[in-house]
Amino acid sequence: MRQIIKMLAIAVIAAGSAAASSAQVPPPCSSATIKGDYAFRVSGEVFTGAGIVYRDGIALAHFDGDHSLTQNDYVLANGVPVPGPTNVNGFHTDETGTYSVNEDCTGEAEIDFPTPPGGTSGAVIKLFFIISDNGRVLNTIVTSLTPPNSTEAVPANIHSDAVRVHTKPLL
């Protein structure tokens, strides 16, 4: 009987150790991890020859689960809405881009803005991000900002935080 109890104790400890070690290894991330819509709060500064331009804004980005994104945003520059074509709600539209996700839940994205009327090119923003809370939260930092009608990036200190938007009503 003592031998049976000892064997059972060893089996329980082994099963518990295996469950604990497998529970600590999160599944790898992929582009599908962030499939869906995210609400962003954006803030920071852009450093131009004319001085610092403070940016503050909100954005709604859709990640398709396969490396493409679309976005609408509303951004202020020094407290004034950034000009450009908007929808009936006042948000800039037609922003597109690409993204990639690494297995360690880090990634990068590029957002391409439409060319302004009479312009030669739209703005391009490149950023790094981290996925957390099982894909419910994204934290980003801009790594490059190229203004519209330019081919050269300007220094910027812009970051954003986002949460997944639930499309189904919560009960």
Chosen CATH of 31-164 out of 1.10.10, 3.30.1490, 3.40.630, 2.40.128: 2.40.128
Residue 165's pLDDT is 95
The C-alpha angle with vertex 37 and arms to 79 and 117, in degrees rounded to 5, equals 50
Domain boundaries, the chain: 31-164
CB atoms within 10 A of CB 57: 20
Looking at the chain, the whole-number percentage of residues with pLDDT higher than 90 is 77
Letter for the amino acid at 162?
A
Query: What are the pLDDT digits (tens) for 12-63?
Result: 565 555 555 555 666 799 999 999 999 999 999 999 989 999 999 999 999 9
**Which pLDDT tens digit goes with each residue over 51-67?**
999 999 999 999 999 99
Instruction: Look at residue 76 and tell me whether its pLDDT is greater than 90.
Output: yes
| pLDDT tens by residue, 150-167 | 999 999 999 999 999 976
Mean pLDDT of 66-79: 97
